[in-house]
Amino acid sequence: MTNTRVAIITGGASGIGAAFSRLLASEGIKVIIADRQMELAQSVVDDILAAGGHAQAVELNVTDATAVAAVVTQVHTEEQRIDFMFNNAGIGIGGSALRHDMSDWDDIIDVNIRGVVLGIQAVYPIMKEQGFGQIINTSSMAGLVPIPAMIAYSASKHAVYAMSRVLRAEASEFGVQVNTLCPGFINTPILDGGAFGRMKLDEQQREQMQEQGGDAMDVNEFVVKAWHQLKRNRAIIIVPGLWRLVWWFYRVLPLASVNYLQRRVSKVLG
């Protein structure tokens, strides 16, 4: 077994995944960037290598069970360890429930839920056997509080949150840590659905959504704050911190919270 720590990051070619890839590499961790967007993934790898880090890009569709298992097995065979598994790949689909069709539900369940499940199934037995490791699943504040016009996305992210909480309880006895990332409003491609998602909005709503993007937290600032909490093994990582207050408010006064979120979202999505 080598002394170099190893991380697999699904969806590592852009957004939060790319930012984490660069940050972890700067700390001497070898990063395996697993993504469907190979050109973007290789660009991130090139940046990391140029900065003196260690990284590799592998093509991966997280909905393919055989492919996910093969990537995890290959990394473990070559490196003899897997320290971090970031089940981060995801898509966004926005718009009212009336604008969703079954293809929207199928796509978001396949990527956002099945993709995380397959990552867990592939890496958890390895981490249990080696006696250490950290599984980081990307949920969302939309998985903790009801965000109008994000019905399928919110459902998928709530499932990720629930899976992570159960797995954390089970995995601790084996030395495996499990953490749930719950980003708030972060400036990443997911705000427009991501490369494989979509926002089912009219033109005016889309323009308003883009204007709101100026209020989003910078993705690099997000990962620095989140990484600090991951090192402390925080179970639920909510960044920006203001969203922790939103979550608390929702649990204490759910109806008032829903009405507030409805008013905020209706200004943008109608």
CA triplet 164, 150, 200: central angle to 5 degrees?
135
Asked whether residue 207 carries a pLDDT value surpassing 90, the answer given is: no
Strand order in the sheet with 55-59: 55-59, 30-35, 6-10, 84-87, 133-138, 176-183, 236-239
| Range name among 122-126, 181-185, 257-261 with the lowest pLDDT average | 257-261
- Yes or no: say if 29 and 6 are a contact pair by the CB < 8 Å rule: yes
Please name the residues in contact with 209: beta carbons below 8 A apart, sequence gap of 6 or more: 191, 192, 199, 201, 268, 269
Asked whether residue 121 carries a pLDDT value surpassing 90, the answer given is: yes
The tally of domains found in the chain comes to 1
Asked whether residue 156 carries a pLDDT value surpassing 80, the answer given is: yes
Determine, yes or no, domain membership for 1. no
State the Cα–Cα distance between residues 35 and 61, nearest whole angstrom. 7
Percent of residues, the chain, with pLDDT higher than 70: 89
Average pLDDT, integer, range 52-59: 98
CATH number, domain with residue 120: 3.40.50.720
Q: Is 153 known to be catalytic? A: yes
| Range name among 94-98, 196-200, 210-214, 237-241 with the lowest pLDDT average | 210-214
pTM: 0.92
State the Cα–Cα distance between residues 114 and 221, nearest whole angstrom. 29
Angle between helices 65-79 and 115-130 (to 10 degrees): 30
Average pLDDT, integer, range 152-171: 97
Pairing of strands 30-35, 6-10: parallel
Catalytic annotation, pick one of 124, 153, 161, 250: 153
**Domain hosting residue 261, numbered range:** 6-269
- Yes or no: say if 90 and 11 are a contact pair by the CB < 8 Å rule: yes
Determine, yes or no, domain membership for 261. yes
Determine, yes or no, domain membership for 44. yes
Determine, yes or no, domain membership for 91. yes
Q: What's the mean pLDDT when you consider all of the chain?
A: 90
